[in-house]
Chains A and B, each alone.
Chain A
Amino acid sequence: MDFSRRFAKLRPVMSPLIKLLLEGGKLSTAQMAQVLNLSEADVNRQLEQLRADRVLLGWRPVLNLVDEETGIVRAVIEVRITPERGGGFNRLADRISRFDEVESCYLMSGGYDLLVFVSGSSLQKVAAFVSEKLSTIEGVLSTATHFLLRSYKEQGFLLDLPAEDNNRLKVAP
């Protein structure tokens, strides 16, 4: 999967290293150095800088964990909150984001304020998180919880559909 196409128009000044990372191939720093014609030390320095600038947040594999095998239940919650003087939505959003159950948290335009992706080991646990932890926070006005039934695409990776054979000729003029 070549992510660089998706981002090419968005960040024309992205460094070659970020573009290489977005291509998604699992390269070691030594291999990245070879591809980019840099020293490994330079690659490590750039990676450190990206971490320090909070551009590179971390590494995580994208896994297709089938719910009935793992028991993991996922949901997305629309949360309406009260903005605060001097801070807007930030303080509450930060507080909500820090729960382990929260995978992602976004401030959205439209009919609600925060879109919160959560996961838990059962429907009851997710429901308990919403009713006991999330809804009870001072400043949370309402929540609407939608449970995930099925994934078709996960962070750029299509699920269920077989990988396409690219049928490239071994030699071509």
Chain B
Amino acid sequence: MFVLVSLLTACGNRSLASTDWPGMTVQGDKVYLAAGTYVYAVNLANGQELTITQGSETNPVRFPSDGKGGPFYADPAFTSDGQMIIGSANINDRKHPLFSANADDFSTQWVFENQAKDIWLGGALILNDVIYAPNSDGGLYSFDLNGNIQGTFMAENSLWSSPVTDGQVIYVSSMDHSVYAVDPVNMNQIWKTELDASITASPAIKDGQLFVGTIGGTVYALDAKSGNILWQKNFEGGIADQVTLADGRLYFGVVASQTGTIYALNTDDGATIWNYDAGGAVTASPLVKDNLVVFVTETGTVRALDLDAKPLWMQTLDAKLYSTPLAAGDLILVAPMGKSDLMLVAYDETGAQKWIFTPNK
């Protein structure tokens, strides 16, 4: 019986290492990393964690300070008045809290709890000083900057990804196989388009078109005004992350069991421009930065291609990589999963490693 207790309770260990895909957001001169128990604020210049000195003691500043409330995996969102918004992904916490914290010192501003019915996996969208936070209960909750709930839109199933906006309408994809357009003022549905499979990725929006991939491996282009499907193209495997739009192309990764492929398509008609065998499962979309297409694989590879898929450089980390790389000035940031001594790595555009973030225990 002791063995049974140990094995079952092992699922709830509190190591610093992230047990799911970390989220991160660059804000000012820092990158905020949501990776399990804590959200960390890391200085982009040197990879050092934000600290506070009281008397002779210098301690890291993390959210939450007591280490309770997490884990956190969503991309932190930031309001114009300096709040960081992030929700808990703790499935056993019946309160399912969404937190607001001061982005500078991580002091808690307000907590929305006991109303959402599930965990928060997608990052919030901030539009016109209104916070739109997606929950796994299917709710898109809107709040003012003081945390007062303004309205709710309910999808038929979980919302795992961040909503996006063109400034007028909010678009959100759901595990119920649908993409929704929602009025940000009254939270009413404008249209809903059902696709072939569940969607874990945010849509990408440009020039009145939405582009989104499903776990069924189909990429869709939708008319943002009507939701009509403009074109669709199926690939073997599944698409887990938001497609990347750049210069009339869309880039994305496909995971098929243990393998992965990077694709570049023409946004006009979905024609394949090139594809590249990634050498491992790809769950994250590529980062397109200047003339680089940077992608990561589950097997720990960070690889850069040029815009014609010619390999430029490669780095390998002893960790699993599931989250999309982020650009921050000249840096390319990669957030490994499951390693407490390797939580964030910064490269320059030549692939040279600039720093590694390892939190103090």
Q: Do A and B come from one complex?
A: no
